[in-house]
Structure 1
Amino acid sequence: VNVTLTPHDRDAPVREWLAGAADSVVVTGPADQMNVHLHTTDRAALRVGLDTLGRVVNWSEARIVSTARRYDQGDQGVHIMTDAAGSLSLSDARQLGVTLLNSYLVVGEQSWPETLFDPERLYAVMVDGIKVSTAQASRYEKHESYLSAVSRFQRVLYLCVGSVYTGNYESAQRWKSENELGDRLSVIDTGAASGRLGLIVTATAEFAGQGADAQAVQCFAESTISQCRELVFLDQLKYLAAGGRVSKTKGFLGDLLRKKPIVSPTAHGAAKVGIVHNRDEQLAFALDRLDAQFPTDAAPRVLLQYADNRTWVQDIVAEQIHFRWPSANITVRPLSLTSGAHMGPGTWAMAYL
């Protein structure tokens, strides 16, 4: 549930009440107009309680279907958990039986879990010049997510977004060492983000779903991490400059000269691997990279991601890859919104394995 609440009294114990009445509670905004995200099993009781504390200005909700999924628990030796920054939607997670840990978009003055924000709206507001940034989940929400997972599953493998990008790995390791159920949780720093993380998680979850034991799943994940690569194709540098990823002068000059960098997210950060000037050159670069690794009779696994350019990615890029590698397993998904918030409209990416 997402709620905007104006408390009747600035001293009303809203946060304390929410902590006891719901799960995964995140509160942002000023004391006189709180933006609240939470999980509940009793909407009616929640609404009654909120009405006693203040005026509900906005209310939206989405049903969370248990991610304990299409595979029976008995068939799976380990449950997979990961970060939503891996270009996985809630629908993808349900299909795979994966638990997603949210990160947040801050759009103007409002904060939203990235899995609940409309991608088209994100890129539209960025074009309109509205400030967009990102934020991690609170320490409380992270710890509740770990506890929920290990309470439901005997073995949990957290394939964590690269520690160079967030503090999630350190947070999970600290919780693991301080809690009595921590031995049920294994944490791998994948060094990945966006589609590379998504492809690693997808492959590992499918392998785990075949009933492999925890050690085999962890070995599979580590092997997949070492093999998986990703290219991210930027359209404009001004969005990276706005977020402080590059200097504003460099961003302005790069856009003025129509430079479109190509970066590869690695365990050490995003490495620049090329510069092109238009979409055709981006596509040629992508095909050359695949050609250098896979013969035409191979069956590479490719995850394509789009920002506000789905038609081009789906109809042009995917078709070109399929034409050259007829047996390729190609998936097209939206780019992780926490990545899109920094990289901006026109960005697309290709992870491959």
Structure 2
Amino acid sequence: MKVKIIADSASDLPKDLVEQNNITVLPLVVLDGMNEYKDGVEITPKKIFDDMREGKVYSTSQVPVNDFIDLFTQIAKDKQECFYPAFSSGLSGTYNAAVTALEEVKKSYPEVNIVIIDTWCASMGLGHVVLKACELAVAGLSAQQMTPIVEDYAKKMVHVYTVEKLEYLYRGGRVSKTSALIGDTLGIRPALTVKEGKLVPVHKVRGEKKLYTTMLDMVAQKAGEDLSGKTVTIAHGDDIDNANVLKKMIQERFSCKNVRITTLGAVIGAHAGPGTQAIFVEGIVE
């Protein structure tokens, strides 16, 4: 693989896929009001979810600019060619931090060969995009050659989420306090998607079975009813039982054999909360 692939921790890629594809992952930052932790390095998703169940509030921050500068400088010194599909700029300052860092490194190393794109994707939606870049790198494409292919793939990536409590979205500033209070009192759960790089509620549903059916309907609208040739990823917030329920529903409805289950990372989990379920797959409608 000629081109080195870089990712950030908001891609929520499982460790085995990171190692198999030799991906360099830069961690975002999780904050608890007193301390800062590197996502996936100094704090685990399990810790985040357990604490949130007890009422603890976490916030998050982008990959620090200096972390990008250090990595990009080493890449320039090694004369490597690199490609970095970044976490959506609509949800984080990470993409802009990377662009700023690259501009700084170019002052000393004008020949540095790093391509950065804003994917407008998150969690394993971003993870799928990173893996697509790895596939193209193995096929021998340059960073410039893979850019339009990966950008097109990212535009088609389907993100469908639900959260266990609207309170968690309120804590992260995604919904109003009133909406969260009323919704949680009435047992209403949202079905959300990512649109133009931002998290957007699409439906409000009562009842888990109806909710999951609604989520699958949203997937079908963007990806069709036949997913037999595609990989679907379910990412969950410490709720493997319901992830398995969703997996069975997906396999039965979409004739999809390749359904992968993984855990949300600490940064995404800090906003979505325990009990979150998210579905990701390449769509056919942009």
TM-score by length of 2: 0.88
Specify the alignment match of 1:216 in structure 2: 145
- Percent identity over the alignment is 25
Alignment CA distance shift 1:149-1:94 (3 Å): farther
Distance 1:127 1:193 in 2: 23
- Listed one character per residue, the Cα deviations across residues 247-277 of structure 1 (whole Å, up to 9, x for unaligned) are 2222111111212111112334112111112
Specify the alignment match of 2:176 in structure 1: 247
SS of residue in 2 equivalent to 1:305:
strand
SS of residue in 2 equivalent to 1:322:
helix
> Which residue of 147, 152, 159 maps to 2:85?
159
Specify the alignment match of 1:99 in structure 2: 24
> Which residue of 96, 105, 123 maps to 2:49?
123
Distance 2:79 2:239 in 1: 39
Specify the alignment match of 2:237 in structure 1: 307
- What is the count of residue pairs matched by the alignment? 277
SS of residue in 1 equivalent to 2:140:
coil
Q: Does the 8 A contact of 2:121 with 2:197 survive in 1? A: no
> Which residue of 25, 39, 47 maps to 1:114?
39
Q: Does the 8 A contact of 1:190 with 1:267 survive in 2? A: no
SS of residue in 1 equivalent to 2:148:
helix
After the TM superposition, which of the residue ranges 145-154 and 100-109 deviates more from structure 2? 145-154
Q: Does the 8 A contact of 2:85 with 2:118 survive in 1? A: yes
Distance 2:98 2:29 in 1: 18
Structure 1 unpaired stretches of 5+: 1-75
1:177 aligns with 2:107: no
Letter in 1 for 2:2: G
SS of residue in 2 equivalent to 1:339:
helix
Deviation at 1:301, TM superposition (A): 2.2
Q: Which structure has the larger Rg over C-alpha atoms?
A: 1
Letter in 2 for 1:254: G
> Which residue of 130, 133, 154 maps to 1:201?
130
Q: RCO greater where, 1 or 2, for CA within 8 Å and sep 6 or more?
A: 2
Q: Does the 8 A contact of 1:299 with 1:325 survive in 2? A: no
Letter in 1 for 2:58: V
Distance 1:121 1:197 in 2: 23
1:316 aligns with 2:245: yes
Alignment CA distance shift 1:279-1:165 (3 Å): same
Specify the alignment match of 2:60 in structure 1: 134
Deviation at 1:98, TM superposition (A): 1.3
Q: Does the 8 A contact of 2:66 with 2:101 survive in 1? A: no
Distance 1:141 1:279 in 2: 42
Specify the alignment match of 2:281 in structure 1: 352
Deviation at 1:188, TM superposition (A): 0.4
SS of residue in 2 equivalent to 1:166:
coil
Letter in 2 for 1:139: V
1:27-66 map, 5 Å: none
Alignment CA distance shift 1:238-1:159 (3 Å): same
Specify the alignment match of 2:185 in structure 1: 256
Alignment CA distance shift 1:171-1:279 (3 Å): same
Q: Does the 8 A contact of 1:150 with 1:156 survive in 2? A: no
Q: Does the 8 A contact of 1:90 with 1:100 survive in 2? A: no
Distance 1:342 1:336 in 2: 10
Distance 1:216 1:225 in 2: 15
- Listed one character per residue, the Cα deviations across residues 26-79 of structure 1 (whole Å, up to 9, x for unaligned) are xxxxxxxxxxxxxxxxxxxxxxxxxxxxxxxxxxxxxxxxxxxxxxxxxx2321
Letter in 2 for 1:346: G
> Which residue of 54, 67, 74 maps to 1:148?
74
Letter in 2 for 1:252: L
Alignment CA distance shift 1:150-1:278 (3 Å): farther
Q: Does the 8 A contact of 2:69 with 2:102 survive in 1? A: no
SS of residue in 2 equivalent to 1:192:
coil
SS of residue in 2 equivalent to 1:287:
helix
Deviation at 1:151, TM superposition (A): 3.7
Deviation at 1:154, TM superposition (A): 2.3
1:272 aligns with 2:164: no
Specify the alignment match of 1:69 in structure 2: none
- Listed one character per residue, the Cα deviations across residues 113-154 of structure 1 (whole Å, up to 9, x for unaligned) are 111222222111111112211122332222112223444452
After the TM superposition, which of the residue ranges 155-164 and 116-125 deviates more from structure 2? 116-125
Deviation at 1:328, TM superposition (A): 4.0
SS of residue in 1 equivalent to 2:40:
helix
